[in-house]
Amino acid sequence: MFGKALPIFGIWAGLVAAAAAQTAVSEPQASPNEAPWPCAQRRTPTISAAAVWAGPDIAKAGDWEQDSEAAALAEKLASRRTPLSEIGGLLDDFVKKAGADKDQRLTRVFAGALALINRERDRIIAGIAHFAEGQERLAERVRKESEEVADDADKGAADAKALAEAKVEFAWDKRIFAERSQSLTYVCETPGILEQRAFEIARRIQEKL
């Protein structure tokens, strides 16, 4: 009976082990008061402009939201629906009509794209933390159910109906847990993908300055 419960613990233990392994490689310890973080990737805060940008000071470029063309381009660049391969062309079009203060306006485009990417990234990170809490509760329930199934089985065929029901419930929760864990590994990659995107946008813009 115990054997049935093992795959679940395997998944969860694997997740925890992966997180631990990642911590051991190159990551500092997370502070203990932070919400649970289920990803192997380190939880990194908002991407600071300086981490990806060596161009002009964005604080001196003016408010990007007031420059409607810059804002529209920033939105397009930040959107994951825009393939990275299209960034160069979009920037070329903007540069052509950017006018005398081209560099300043390109800096605004970067500021806008970074702000929008950070907004999305923060939302995803909050979502992952929320999801982790739910998954912890589900893990606890699956563990209890597996114990109940084992207990019922030990009691013999006295309550065959209860045992059958418990087994079904257990199987469902186990499946939901496993599927969620799988989608989690994908979701965990998103903050990193967005950081790559921010870096790539910054790089392309700096090439035009």
Partner 1 sequence: MIFPDRSGFFHPGFFLALVLFAAPAPALAFRIFVTNEKGNSVSVIDTDKQQVVETVPVGRRPRGVSISPDGKLLYVCASDDNAINVLDVATMKIVRSLESGPDPERFALNQAGDLLYIANEDNAEVTVVDLAKNLILAQIPVGVEPEGMGLSPNGELLVATSETTNMAHFIDTRSYKLIDSVLVGKRPRIAVFNRSGAQVWVSSELGGDVSVIDASSHKIIRKITFDIPGLTREEIQPVGVVLTSDGKKAFVALGYANRVAVVDQQTFAVEKYLLVGVRVWHLAFTPDEKLLYTTNGNSNDVTVIDVARERVIKSISVGLEPNDLVSSLH
In 3D, which of 179, 29, 191 has the Cα closest to residue 126?
A: 191
Question: Which amino acid is present at 99?
Answer: G
> Per rule CB under 8 A, is residue 17 in the interface with partner 1?
no
Taking CB under 8 A as the criterion, the residue among 199, 204, 208, 209 binding partner 1 is 199
In 3D, which of 185, 183, 174 has the Cα closest to residue 141?
A: 174
- Phi then psi dihedrals of residue 117, to 5 deg: -65, -45
> Per rule CB under 8 A, is residue 32 in the interface with partner 1?
no
Smallest distance, partner 1 to C-beta of residue 24, A: 7
- Phi then psi dihedrals of residue 138, to 5 deg: -65, -40
| Encoded tokens for 172 | 């469902």
Taking CB under 8 A as the criterion, the residue among 62, 200, 204, 209 binding partner 1 is 200
Could you write out the DSSP letters of every residue in 77-126?
HHSTTS-GGGHHHHHHHHHHT--TTHHHHHHHHHHHHHHHHHHHHHHHHH
Query: Which listed range, 21-29, 31-39, 122-130, 131-139, lies at the site for partner 1 (CB under 8 A)?
Result: 21-29
Taking CB under 8 A as the criterion, the residue among 178, 185, 195, 204 binding partner 1 is 195
What mask, x for binding partner 1 by CB under 8 A, covers residues 140 to 179? ----------------------------------------
Question: Which amino acid is present at 115?
Answer: A
What mask, x for binding partner 1 by CB under 8 A, covers residues 45 to 74? ---xxxxxxx--------------------
Query: Which listed range, 111-119, 126-134, 137-145, 190-198, lies at the site for partner 1 (CB under 8 A)?
Result: 190-198
* Pair 131, 185: CB distance under 8 Å: no
Per CB under 8 A, residues contacting partner 1 are: 24, 26, 28, 44, 48-54, 192, 195-196, 199-200, 203, 206
